[in-house]
Amino acid sequence: MGRKGKSMKPPIRLLMSAGLILFATLNVFAGDVKVIANSTVKADTISARDLKNVFLLQRKTLDDGSAVVPVLAKSGATHESFLRMYLDRGSEEIHTYYQGLVFTGKGLMPKELNSDADVVEYVAKTKGAIGYVSGSTKIEGVKILTVVSEKRSQERVLLTRVEPDYPETLQRLGIVGTVRLRLTISRKGEVESVAVVGGNPILAEAAGKAVKQWVYSPSPTQTSLEVTIPFDIHR
């Protein structure tokens, strides 16, 4: 019995060593994933949240209006790394998820491809396609999207503020109030559009003219935020 017990030790050590090698290999691949897109996608960056929503078929367009279509690899270390890093799922879980969408009529199974080269080729020729490949893959005819955290993508600092002109007629009448506006800010920091959320229409018009001159800090992505502009005759 004692001799048999000793003979089992080398195989166990070999299995442990193999497991450690596999674990190390997966960790090397975990940080080595490129997200690529067709040239019709205007954005150069994508937030981790938007990337997740695109591949979970919960979003079909990006903030810049680009229509997007996710492309999957069938298997492999890069595939598993991408799923874990950005979708919080394994390959079996994601297939079950997609099958549920297909069964309920809420979505179609995304395109699945066999290799990184196939993914690059498909993304290059398919309008709006977004996929992923290993960091060592040769990239031609596609663009690389930088994935940024949601926190980083939303940080905008107001650098230049222009105060609105208070309409004289409303001042004389003692009309005060607060205007709420939703701004769309470009990556460079310019206010691209202004939408009135609430407030006196005349005051809102004056506020809109002012905020269109505001300048924010640059950001990896286009962002949207809400601001309030008070109008007070005693200010």
Domain parsing of the chain, residue ranges: 31-149, 155-231
Average pLDDT over residues 36-64: 89
Q: What share of the chain is helix, strand, coil (3-state, %, to 5)?
A: 40, 25, 35
Greatest mean pLDDT among 3-12, 39-48, 79-88, 174-183? 79-88
Between 56 and 23, residue with greater pLDDT: 56
- Do the beta carbons of residue 218 and residue 189 sit within 8 Å? yes
Q: How confident is the model at residue 73 (pLDDT cuts 50, 70, 90)?
A: very high
Q: Helix, strand or coil for residue 3?
A: helix
Average pLDDT value over all residues in the chain:
82
What's the half-sphere exposure (Cβ side, CA atoms, 13 Å) at 136?
6
Q: SS3 for 59-122, per residue? A: CCECCCCCECEEEEECCCHHHHHHHHHHHCCCHHHHHHHHHHHHHHCCCCCCEEECCHHHHHHH
What's the topology of domain 31-149? D-Maltodextrin-Binding Protein; domain 2 (3.40.190)
The structure's pTM equals 0.55
Q: Of the ranges 20-34, 40-54, 70-84, 166-180, which one carries the lowest mean pLDDT score?
A: 20-34
For the four alpha carbons of 109, 111, 113 and 119, in that order, the dihedral sign comes to: negative
Q: Provide the pLDDT for residue 42.
A: 87
Selected from 1.10.569.10, 3.90.1150.200, 3.20.20.100, 3.30.2420.10, the CATH number assigned to the domain covering 155-231 reads: 3.30.2420.10
